[in-house]
Structure 1
């Protein structure tokens, strides 16, 4: 499920989102990972929260800048101390 009105447009917002997912602050179940991806129909980039079956649990659109520059943060995790 992706909310069209909720776009992550800065790396700081991406970091906050990753921390929320990591800490369980969004109330999601069976979260196994996150990934940056593109929508097959539109090509729009988004961040995907995936469950243990690699199914989309939650997605948020991201700007092209966040998609291009946030890959290491998604791969390695946010830098802030939790």
Structure 2
């Protein structure tokens, strides 16, 4: 569920989001992974937090620039801890 219209606009904001998920700061349970994806309805890019059954727990919209350039950060995890 993408719960609001907040848009991650920079790679630093993406990094902060990844750290929040990793540290449990968002109160999500059963987090198994994070992926960049696009909305099937309109093609809008977002970062998805997934459970162990690949179900969407939470999503945040991202800009096209973050989608294009943030793939390595999502794949490898945050560089700052």
- Relative to the length of structure 1, the TM-score reads 0.96
Which residue of structure 1 aligns with residue 51 of structure 2? 51
Stretches (4+) displaced over 4 A: none
- 2:3 maps to 3
1:68 — aligned with what? 68
Deviations 1:33-81 (A, max 9, x none): 000000001000000000011000000000000000000000001111x
Please show how residues 31-46 of structure 1 align to structure 2 within 5 Å. Answer: 31-46=31-46
Paired position in structure 2 for 1:19: 19
Structure 1's unaligned 5+ residue stretches are: none
Aligned residues: 81
Q: Give the structure-2-normalised TM-score.
A: 0.97
SS in 2 for 1:78: coil
Q: Unpaired runs of 5+ in structure 2?
A: none
